[in-house]
Structures are given as C-alpha cells and as structure tokens.
Chain A
Amino acid sequence: MAGSTLASPSAEPAVAASARGVSVSPARETWRRFRRHRLAMISALVLGMLILGVVVGPFLWPVAINEIDFSAQLQGPSWAHPFGTDDLGQDILARMIYGGRISLAVGLAAMVVATFVGVIVGALAGMSRRALDPFLMWVTDLFLSLPQLPLLLLVIYLFREQLKAVFGLEGGVFVLIVVVIGGLRWMPVARLVRAQFFSLREKEFVEAAKASGATSWRQMVHHILPNAIGPVIVAATIEVSSAIIAESTLSFLGLGFPPDIPTWGRLLFDAKDQLDVAPHWAMFPGAAIFLTVLSINFIGDGLRDALDPRRVI
C-alpha cells in the first residue's frame, strides 16, 4: 500500500499508556519502562546483591584470604567454610569476596573503556565525510589484525614496573589490565557505531535538524547517537563478560594479577586440577561469573527496550 501511511500497530496501546502520566521527565519514564521488564529487574537485583556482597562481604565474613590451614584441605561446604576450602585449606568464600571486587571492577571498567573508545571512534568515522573515516577504519583494521598475546606480553613487560610505581602493585596491574582489555576490544563497537551512523545520518530527521540550524555536534548527540544506542548496549554487555574471562586468561598466563590474588578467573583455573575431588571449588566462582554475565545481559536487554519509546512496555 504505497503512497499511504500505515500507523504502526503499536500506536493504540501506546497512546493509552502515555495518556496516564502527564508530562513525566524522560529519566523517570525510562525507569518506569525498565521496571516493567521483569527479567531485567530480577537481574538488576542479582547484580546489585553481587556487588553489595563483594563490597560489604569482608565485614560480615572477616576471614583472611591467605590463612592456610592444612588440616582443612579441599573440604566441601560446611558451616565453618560455607563455600568449602581449596588445596591449601584457604576459605573459598573469603577469597571469592575479595576476588569479586577485582573481577567485577575489571569487567565493568574494561567495558566502559572499550565502549567509550568504540563509540568515539565510530561516531567520528560515521560523521566524517572526508579523510577521517578511512583513516579511523584503517586504525580499526590494524587493531583487529594485531596478534593480541605477543602485544600483551610486550605492553606488560614495558609498563608493569612504571605503573606499579604510580598506582601500587594491585592498582598498577588493574589499570594495565583494564587499558589492555579495553584497548583491544573497542573495534567491534566502533564498527557497529559507524555503520549505525552511516544509515542514520541520511535520515530525514537529521536533515530536518540540520535545516533548523543544528550544529554537527547537536545532530550527533541529540539525533543520531540516541538512535544508535540499542546495538551499542548489547555489545557493551557482552564486553563485560568477555573482559572478566580475558582477565582470568591473563592471570592464568601469569600476565595479570600475581598468583596469590584470588580473582574469580584465577580461582577457576586453580580449581581445574582438583575438579574430580573438589567440584565445589570451581562451581562457586563459576556460578558467580555466570550470574554476573547473565544478569548484565538481561539488564542490557531491559535498558535497550526501556530507552526505545517505540516499544510498548
């Protein structure tokens, strides 16, 4: 039916929905819509509890992470050790609480770095109509083609000591890992954002904004970026999980945190040799990573839906 304009099927219920609330602020409207996404709300609750657990945990469970007790090796969960013990008799719960701080912080920080860099590069490339776009895409392709492990080795050998001097042992490694993981994972986001910008910048509503005197900056921030944000959120949530896993890979290779610092990934790797006698050792950190990744993915889903006014919730 051309030449004709069909109202979207969602039109009717949406009118009814917005008729109730008279002029609510966009932030509150987004929150109202997010709350109605049940899975996302449950996930937000789970993630909130995980974060709360690792933050206040040490006060509620004041057991030292490196208290070695050879009389309690590889014990299953009990009242004394709710998550059991490892091969040195260290309390896994205490180690997980400590390691969770690092894992969650690394995951979230690396996601922020990767998404931030990716969006900036993608947006600049997507807005540019001259030489900047090909140049930035060359850079992106270059980063994609870099062999990551040798590069990591190089970066860590070159900068570990300097960073340690500035931020302290753990701080230095943290900054290094976040920068390395974030710096090597922004390319998919950049490509995604660029592609979105390419299609959106030709849309008539962007042209309409331009025709009413909007600067390129305003076109980008008010019109193009909000419409490109859906896929970016999804990509960003995937970034979190891969950053947590990447951190454990690095730790496993001896490139990340020192072996005595128990991140979730580290715990998993340590547990793998005793999987047959002490499955609980791997299960708890595994479950923690699983829950984190899952809940962040669902939160991303919910955010994407809540931010899209066309979707009726």
Chain B
Amino acid sequence: MASPILSVSNLTTSFRVEGLWRPVVKGISFEIAPKETVAVVGESGSGKSVTALSIMRLTPPGSSKIEGSIKLSGKELLTLPEPEMRHIRGNEVAMIFQEPMTSLNPVLTIGFQIAEALILHRGLSRSEAEAETIRLLEKVRIPAAKSRFHEYPHRFSGGMRQRVMIAMALACKPKLLIADEPTTALDVTIQAQILELIKVLQEEEDMSVLFITHDMGVVAEIADRTVVMYNGQAVETGPTEDIFARPTHPYTRSLLSAVPKLGSMGGHTRPMRFPVVDRATGLSDVPTETSDTVAPASERPVLEVSGLTTRFEIRAGLLGGVKGRVHAVENVSFSLQSGETLALVGESGCGKSTTGRSVMRLIEPLSGSVLLDGEDVLKLDQRTLRDRRKRMQMIFQDPFASLNPRMNVGAAIAEPLIINGLATRSQAREKVAELLRRVGLLPDMASRFPHEFSGGQRQRICIARALAVEPRLIVADESVSALDVSVKAQVINLMLELQERMKLAYLFISHDMAVVERVSHRVAVMYLGEIVEIGPREAVFGNPQHPYTKRLLAAVPVPDPARRLEKRPVSNDEIKSPLRAPDYVPPVRQFREVSPGHAVMIWGQEWETQPAIAKVA
C-alpha cells in the first residue's frame, strides 16, 4: 500500500462525565490509503461519530481528551496548535454531515455560502470565486447550476442540499472527505444518487473518503475497506468483501444476520423471522417462516378501504383563499384480512403515513370509506369513534416522542384500558404486568419513566400499549425505522410472534423495502398519494411492473460488495411534490391485473421518458 493519507493508531477519546473520564473510543487503529474509501460501521453509541470528530479535533475542549496518534500524510494532528488545525479543517480534511436541512444558513444564498469559503480559504477574488462556485455546483450535478447560484437553501430539496454541502466540502480540494451518515436522512432513491455521486467525485478528485454509517447496505455499496465498531472498539477490520463473506467476530456476524437483504425471500410466501445470533459465541439459530396466519378469503376482511382521499388546503393571503392543495392521499383502496400484513411503501411525501392516519381518523379524510369489520369508521360520531378505536391501534415511528415523558410506563400502558373502561385500576395493573411480559420486558419496569429505557425497549412499550385493548388491526407507522439494525430485528420478530399468537392484522407503513420484503404478506407501493402497484409480496418484489416500483427496488442498497463495482449513471431526479393548483382534477386511473391479486396502475407518458437510474435489480 502506498503511504497512507490518514493513519489512526491507538486512538482513545474520553469524555468527562461527572468528574470521571469515560472512554468512548477505546484504542482503535486504521489507515486510509490515497483514493481509498474506508467505512466505519456500527450501531448507535458505538463511537463511530466520535471517531470522526476526534480526527477533526472537534470534540468539546475541556470535557474531552484525545489520546493516541492521528497522522495526516505523516503529520501528527493531535499535537498541532489550534491555528494550524483550523487550516487543516476545510483545506485538507473536509466533512459532510447527516442533516442537510440544518447545515446551510437559511438567510444566505447557496452561491454566496460556497463562494465565501473559496474567498477565505483559497484567496480567490469574488468573480473568480463565483465562477469556481458554478463549476463546483456543476460538478455535484446540480441541474442549471448557473441559475440556482442566487437561490436560498429553502428552494432546494434534501438531496440537492446534500449536494451543495458536498460542493462546499470539495471547494478546497481536500485530500480526505469525512462523511458522517450523509445519506441517512434521505430517501432511498436520493441516497442511491448521493452514494453514486460520492463514488464518481472520489475518482475525479483523487480523494480518500472516510464514510461513517450504520447501514451495512451502504457499506457494501461504497467501501473498499471496513472497520466494524462495537462499544468503542474496532472489533473487525478488513476488506469489505472479506467482512461480508467471512465475518470472524461474533458481533459482525450478528450485525450481518440482522440486515435484511432484498431478494433473499425468494421461495417464501410468508414473512420470516430474523435469525438471532448470540453476541458472545456467534452462533445463529435458523430463521423460520411464520405459520399461516392469514384468514381465508371467504372471511370478511378486518379493514376495507375504498376511494380514500385526503387533501390539505394551502391557504394564503388576507382572506385565506385556497392557493393550492396537497393531494396527500388520492383515491386509495385496499383491504386487509385478519392475521395479514399489508405494507405501504413509498418515499417521503408519498402519502403513506397520511393514509395510516386517515384510516385511524387521526386526520379527517375528504372522502372515501374505511370499513372496520364492516362498519364505516368515517361515518361514526366522536363518541362511537372513541369506542371503536380500541379495535385499531397505532404504533408510531419515534419511540422517544410517542411516550409521555411525565407518565410512568405502567400508567401509559394502562391508559387505553382506563379510557375505554375495560379494567379497574387493580385489574389494569395486572394486565400491564402481563403485557410487559408479553413484549419481553419485566413487570416491575412499570413504575419507571420512559427516559430510563433504550429505543428498542420503548418501542416494545409502545407495542404493549397498543396491545392493551386487544385490537384487531395495528397501524405500524415506520415503527422500526428509528431503531438500530439488531434492535430492529428483535422488534420485528416480536411483531411477527404477536401476529401469530393474536391474529393481528398489520398495516405496516415503511420506506425500507428490505424490511417490508421480510415482514409482509402483501405490498402496496404508493407514489404521490396514489397506489401504483399492489399485490402479494412475492409478485411485487419478484415481478415488479410499474416503473416506480422498479426504480425503488433498484435504489435499495444491497449488502453485497460484489455489486459495488457496477457503474450506474448519476441521476438528478427529485421527489415530486403532491402540491397541486386548486383547480386540479386528479385523472381517473385504470388498473391492470398482472396475476391474481397483483394489480398495477396503467402509467402514462411521463414514466416512459424518464431515464431509469439502474438496470432492474
């Protein structure tokens, strides 16, 4: 290997917590060769972000200390005086962050912000800097770069802002780019674009990249070599191919087994549990297919939705006239049998969450009908609706926001029982203990408060709360999206187990195609408020028909390093907005049946002209 750009040896970063030095990164070592991409992968709290901050020496001074050695092209960074370090940051090492929405100043134009960096760091004149800025914006493939120079950040979508951030990072031709979860907040098709862009730019600019992520799929897409971190230690380091093919450390094995792989469900019709790997021994059990829980078609479905439409009006002006409508859900119909999981998939803004909330009537839909056991939920008055809500429950995305911080866990789980008058206080207490046991927690945890639990535990508590009233239908709105992979696998296993035991019907709303493939019986793909394709999971994933379904599937990062070297053209597509003019009349859609139960919307001209970003996966 040529002499490395960055060599980190025995790096230990500690933070002072209540007077004690607590090491967060414990003696990790790795090197990055010129033009190489190294991924640091690990779950939350594993110290991967702190590693990146330590290299930039951006940890808070005073309450943290960095030991070991970090050499950038042979120069020791840890002993460098602060002014010189400031020169290194931005000039030699650039960093991009996770949240593109907050890392740009909203009151300055994009062009000004990039040009400013050029003038400061490279001493260009203003006109030179402007020319260079346009060149950079073109480099990160922002369409019509010249005309967008004078625009403010709010005019850019998340993916475009991340491109701007990358352009800014490239401004001073850094030798090393540190990317800290740069695609985590982005939709999957946009994530694919950004990853592709980073790969192309790396080649063009001869940079090394340190890529920090929690997503094994992304690692496989981008990294030459991988460092797996667990609990502050690098448990495994090696070429990405080796780590995926022959993981040696038990933790790596458990991590890889928890990663859902798109396309791994061929030959199975029912959902499958995730294998459980013992973190100490690395031994894995054999994942099993769930038993057949779906009620026969002769039975009346638990949920029948037809023609559901929800629109939000955008009002503006003095008199509050309607200036536009967001067609969040447009003429959506589906049904759900008892014991069945129907997944709603799509990207942000496609209306999948609004569909779930409209079904629950947390949002009032405009028209359509939602039959729950044959009764139209949308026609109920408030009192009956409150009563019927015990038959349908919801599990939310953010386990931190969905529990009242001032209510202990027992009271939170008992609340639905008390509200619906299903139990007295002492009965509720017993029921809470039983529910906690059922979701794998201890009954005496009932007196604790939500902040004392980890994310996965909290999501279990939310599930227990939803189960308290013994519902028939559970709307799971991105319920596992915020969880770490291994925790995600556990929570999904729990949900599958509960479905088997209680014949629950799940409306599983998710943007994660790989998870959906694992858990669902049927899948509905949503795009701009409409279902474009619906059918049995095997049919939709095995034989996707609609161009959007194909595009979604192609964009999912696959944890298979062999695919990494495939070149894909970088596309600039943005996610379209369902915001329409007030006089917009949605077209009447026709569906075509591909195979029994598998229907696809007949698409128009607009899909034919669009370049697919990839071959069909």
Residues in chain A within 8 A of chain B (CB atoms)? 1-11, 14-15, 18, 22-24, 203-205, 207-215, 218, 222-223, 226-227, 307-310
B185 and A2: CB pair below 8 A? yes
Q: Is the CB of B404 within 8 A of A227?
A: yes
Q: A218 CA to B297 CA in the complex, in Å?
A: 40
- Cα of A207 to Cα of B362 in the assembled complex, Å: 7
**Among B403, B404, B452, which residue has its beta carbon within 8 angstroms of that of A15?**
B452
A10 to B451, CA, bound (A): 8
Name the residue of chain A whose CB is nearest to the CB of B48: A1
19 residue pairs of the A-B complex, CB under 8 angstroms, read A1-B49, A1-B181, A3-B184, A3-B482, A4-B214, A4-B482, A5-B44, A5-B400, A5-B487, A6-B45, A11-B454, A15-B448, A18-B449, A24-B447, A203-B401, A205-B402, A208-B403, A208-B465, A211-B389
Task: Name B359-418 residues within 8 Å CB distance of A.
Answer: 360, 362, 386-387, 389-390, 392-394, 396-408, 415-416
The listed residue (B394, B404, B455) touching A7 by CB distance below 8 A is: B455
What secondary structure prevails in chain A residues at the interface with B? loop
State whether the Cβ of B160 lies closer than 8 Å to any Cβ in chain A: no
Name the one of B45, B392, B415, B452 contacting A18, with C-beta atoms under 8 angstroms: B452
B453 within 8 A of A: yes
Cα A207 to Cα B396 in complex, Å, equals: 9
Could you tell me if B484 and A18 are in contact, using CB atoms closer than 8 angstroms?
no
In the bound complex, residues from chain A placing their C-beta under 8 Å from that of B214 are 1, 3-4
Chain A residues with Cβ below 8 Å from B468 are 212
Within 164-208 of B, Cβ neighbours of A (below 8 Å) are at: 181, 184-185
A-B contact count (CB 8 A): 144
A9–B400 Cα gap in the complex (Å)? 14
User: Which one of A3, A18, A307 lies within 8 Å of B481 (CB-CB)?
Assistant: A3
Report whether A227 and B405 are in contact in the complex, using a CB–CB cutoff of 8 Å: yes
Number of interface residues of B (CB under 8 A): 61
Shortest Cβ distance from A108 into chain B, in angstroms? 26
Question: Is A208's CB under 8 angstroms from B396's CB?
Answer: yes
Distance in angstroms between the alpha carbons of A6 and B416 in the assembled complex: 28
Query: Which one of A1, A7, A18, A309 contacts B454 once the chains associate, using CB atoms below 8 Å?
Result: A7
Q: Is B107 an interface residue (CB 8 A)?
A: no
B462 at the interface (CB under 8 A from A): yes
Instruction: Tell me the complex Cα distance, A23–B404, Å.
Output: 18
B398 and chain A: residue at smallest CB distance: A204
Which chain A positions have C-beta within 8 A of B415?
A: 209, 212, 214, 222
- Distance to closest chain A CB from B14 (angstroms): 15
**Other 7 A-B pairs with CB < 8 A, given A209-B404, A218-B419:** A2-B185, A3-B215, A3-B483, A7-B45, A14-B449, A15-B452, A226-B406
The answer to whether A204 and B420 touch across the interface, beta carbons within 8 angstroms, is: no
Q: When the two chains form their complex, are residues B389 and A212 in contact, meaning their CB atoms are under 8 A apart?
A: yes
B contact residues around A308 at 8 Å (CB): 405-406
B167 smallest CB distance to A (angstroms): 22
* B454 touching A212, Cβ below 8 Å: no
* Interchain CB contact (< 8 A) of B484 among A4, A24, A209, A222: A4
Contact B44 A1 (CB under 8 A): yes
Q: Please indicate the chain B residues that have their CB under 8 angstroms from the CB of A3 in the complex.
A: 181, 184, 214-215, 481-484
Query: Across the interface, do A204 and B393 meet the contact criterion of CB distance under 8 Å?
Result: no
Contact with A along B442-458 (1 / 0, CB 8 A): 00101111011111101
* Contact between chains at B393 and A18 (CB < 8 Å): no
Q: Which residues from chain A contact B347 at a C-beta distance below 8 Å?
A: none
Chain B residues near A7 (CB, 8 Å)? 45, 453-455
